[in-house]
Chain A
Amino acid sequence: MSRFEYAPAPESRAIADIKSSYGLFVNGAFVEATAGKSFKTVSPASEEVLAEVAEAGPADIDKAVRAARKAFDKVWGPMAGRDRAKYLFRIARLIQERSRELAVLESLDNGKPIRESRDVDLPLVAAHFFYYAGWADKLEYAGAGQNPRPIGVAGQVIPWNFPLLMLAWKIAPALAAGNTVVLKPAETTPLTALAFAEICQQADLPPGVVNIVTGAGRTGQALVEHEGVDKVAFTGSTAVGRAIAKSVAGTQKKVTLELGGKAANIVFEDAPIDQTVEGIVNGIFFNQGHVCCAGSRLLVQESVYDEVLARLKRRMGTLRVGDPLDKNTDVGAINSPQQLAKIRELSQVGEDEGAERWSPECELPQQGYWFPPTVFTGVSQAHRIAREEIFGPVLSVLTFRTPQEAVEKANNTPFGLSAGVWTDKGSRILWMANQLRAGVVWANTFNRFDPASPFGGYKESGYGREGGRHGLEAYLAQ
């Protein structure tokens, strides 16, 4: 039982109008899949079937890529940048107008708390379109050579953890640079992407500029491997990223990959402990830990280990796990039974390998897929829970004595997406930021995102950057 009792404060789901079935969005219209196949998307919090969604096969991918090519050649590529900008501004405004509906839809389909979809995802989604709208008529100032031009048709595959936000990260810079897109959302979270297709219609976006094809891994593979695709952008697991990098070998396709992570969140003895504990919680329990840059390895300086752990456990005891549509919920549902099984398996491995597991007392709902906020102590660098991405609300705690040791442990991973540093000493922050081999370093904060800010990984966390001028460059040919 949590420390504080709150009455339920559910957000109404009446605002989200979910159709019983959805087609593919190709060339400006919703169409049936050629093979007539479909799959169901369910609410992970209740296991209720939300809608039936068309499964795109190779023939559908082909149609979508052709539509995108035609739109690129005839309309979007030749269009003046200032007009592309206006379309993107229109889309940004439409997202703001419908943000409440989109937030509810996102929480229903993904399982994330409405507090996060409403206050984090949706404002960022709109902000990404606003940010890149402003680049569309300024490409010659983007530092991508003297004659920047779009690459062509972009095939984009996005994950289920931030469905609409990842769509915005992919589509906004691609369109601003003059490319057209075929985007495949994740099979467990297609609904907001389909709502976005309606927004494209409302904005009178020319047909074929944005195409949304739903399906699972095979659909994504057909898209990535389609000959008519000039640029592949993928966010997801390192294993799939590796397969994509192999499949585009020897082609002319350009690729950017945003893959897994195993971020170190490093706490020094002089850190402001209250803020640090909030940052640790935000770092690993935000979005149920379904975050590639989650701070899943906590490195605490030995001298403050007991205090940090005691306060962390106390804070974890106040986290409310449950109905994603309840405005008081901190931790929502695990996105799918497959993901839940993976989290359970790796947690079991953690115990089997000798780490100590702890979760606050909390009652999990009977229906749906749930995992309590969990912390492992006594973790060594060799443990699988310290090396593999769990992608769930599971934190592994290690210790260190000196800054050098912290750096060595933090960098001892094949990943390099993000890192956190907590200390009051400015010179140490800058020294640590220099030493850490990671694409994002949060000092005295964690899990911050902004469209003006480049994001992406070192090493096996992928290549390329999204956000900012760097993110635009990924869609321009030099």
Chain B
Amino acid sequence: MPSKDSSTRLDVRKTYKLYVGGAFPRSESGRTYLVHDSRGRFVANASQASRKDARDAVVAARKAFGGWSARTAYNRGQVLYRIAEVMEGRHDQFSAEVAAAEGLSVAKARPLVDAAIDRWVWYAGWADKLAQVVGSSNPVAGPYFDFSVPEATGVVALLAPQDSSLLGLTSVLAPAIVSGNTAVVVSSFARPVPAITLGEVMATSDVPGGVVNILTGSASEIGPWLASHQDVNAIDLCGIESADEARELEAAAAENLKRVRRPVAEDWFASPGLSRLTQYLETKTVWHPIGL
């Protein structure tokens, strides 16, 4: 077919992939699913992650845990701030993607992207303050010095909210990783594109590979494999909309006594508070005698 107009450029379309261990693989299952915008127009064939992809992501997250949790809090704060910087540079792209995904005008989507970027900045500042706020030196009755420090719990599975494709995703992800946990995230099923772009931001923001792993696909399908996975330490059921499913996942998580965050109605614009930060922390108390 002859070109209608030589000044019209044919755009380069993107193949949407998963983000696992710092790389962008397709689903090992070879599956993809159709993503439409809010008006029903074709947007992409997104990779549909399988249970094998989820397990690969857990392996990558476990491998990254030692290094990420051992970094200084100062450094983790810098990396989170860098995420905000890189997102800022892609503000227009995120606004367009959030608008398409959530059925908003770009003007209405912009404040959502602003809030998501600001949230990374907010959590970045917590990295080196958390231990001072929730840790303690304990006045025990005896000749001992004893202090309590917060420590990351390990690999956290996050079933991201289905409605809020970027702000909600950021609000569950940032508090999990800022303290040194590594994460396996299942994005919104119907609105995965901002999550895929966030994966590209992660890959270019000094976040070590494996710290954040983003799977596009169905939380209902992948969730049970993450909830029952023996090498996952905590799970956020935010993206599970059926109460029955949430109950089943919580019961499966009990097998290795995962810390579970139950789904509740959330206002993503509200100030987050500390509860998501402390949800994925352990408290370690160290004792030593005092004497000459």
Binding site for B on A (CB under 8 A): 127, 143, 145, 238, 241-243, 245-246, 248-250, 257, 259, 414, 416, 429, 433, 438-445, 448, 450, 452-456, 458-460, 462-463, 465, 468-470, 478
B251 adjacent to A429 (CB under 8 Å): no
A444 adjacent to B257 (CB under 8 Å): no
A454 adjacent to B285 (CB under 8 Å): yes
Distance A404 CA – B260 CA, assembled complex (angstroms): 31
Binding site for A on B (CB under 8 A): 133-134, 136, 138-142, 144, 146, 148, 153, 233, 243-244, 246-248, 250-251, 253-257, 259-260, 273-275, 282-289
A445 adjacent to B283 (CB under 8 Å): no
A450 adjacent to B140 (CB under 8 Å): yes
Distance A439 CA – B286 CA, assembled complex (angstroms): 8
User: Least Cβ distance of A405 to chain B in Å?
Assistant: 16
B273 adjacent to A468 (CB under 8 Å): no
Complex partner residue of B285 from A241, A248, A455, A459, CB under 8 angstroms: A455
Question: B148 — which chain A residues lie within 8 A by C-beta?
Answer: 453-454, 468, 470
B138 adjacent to A445 (CB under 8 Å): no
Complex partner residue of A439 from B134, B260, B275, B285, CB under 8 angstroms: B285
Q: A429-B288, A443-B286, A468-B148 are in contact. Are A242 and B140 (CB under 8 A)?
A: no
Distance A51 CA – B117 CA, assembled complex (angstroms): 65
Complex partner residue of A463 from B144, B255, B257, CB under 8 angstroms: B257
A453 adjacent to B251 (CB under 8 Å): no
Q: A245-B257, A452-B138, A478-B273 are in contact. Are A438 and B233 (CB under 8 A)?
A: no
A241 adjacent to B138 (CB under 8 Å): no
B243 adjacent to A450 (CB under 8 Å): no
A-B contact pairs, 7 of them (CB 8 A): A250-B246, A440-B284, A443-B288, A445-B144, A453-B148, A468-B136, A470-B134
Question: B243 — which chain A residues lie within 8 A by C-beta?
Answer: 250
A257 adjacent to B257 (CB under 8 Å): yes
User: Least Cβ distance of A424 to chain B in Å?
Assistant: 12
B287 adjacent to A448 (CB under 8 Å): yes
Q: A249-B254, A259-B257, A450-B146 are in contact. Are A433 and B284 (CB under 8 A)?
A: yes
A439 adjacent to B138 (CB under 8 Å): no
A441 adjacent to B136 (CB under 8 Å): no
Distance A245 CA – B251 CA, assembled complex (angstroms): 7
B285 adjacent to A445 (CB under 8 Å): no
Q: A143-B133, A429-B288, A468-B136 are in contact. Are A462 and B257 (CB under 8 A)?
A: yes
User: Least Cβ distance of A183 to chain B in Å?
Assistant: 22
A460 adjacent to B257 (CB under 8 Å): yes
A241 adjacent to B257 (CB under 8 Å): yes
A463 adjacent to B259 (CB under 8 Å): yes
Give the interface centre of B233, B244, B255, B282 by most chain A CB atoms within 10 Å.
B282
Question: A433 — which chain B residues lie within 8 A by C-beta?
Answer: 284, 286
Distance A404 CA – B290 CA, assembled complex (angstroms): 27
Complex partner residue of A249 from B140, B251, B289, CB under 8 angstroms: B251
Question: B140 — which chain A residues lie within 8 A by C-beta?
Answer: 448, 450, 452-453
User: Least Cβ distance of A77 to chain B in Å?
Assistant: 22
Distance A419 CA – B194 CA, assembled complex (angstroms): 44
Complex partner residue of B273 from A145, A469, A470, CB under 8 angstroms: A145
Question: B286 — which chain A residues lie within 8 A by C-beta?
Answer: 433, 440-443
B273 adjacent to A442 (CB under 8 Å): no
User: Least Cβ distance of B57 to chain A in Å?
Assistant: 20
Distance A241 CA – B257 CA, assembled complex (angstroms): 8
Distance A138 CA – B220 CA, assembled complex (angstroms): 43
Distance A414 CA – B138 CA, assembled complex (angstroms): 28
CB nearest to A257 among chain B residues: B257
B138 adjacent to A249 (CB under 8 Å): no
Question: B233 — which chain A residues lie within 8 A by C-beta?
Answer: 459
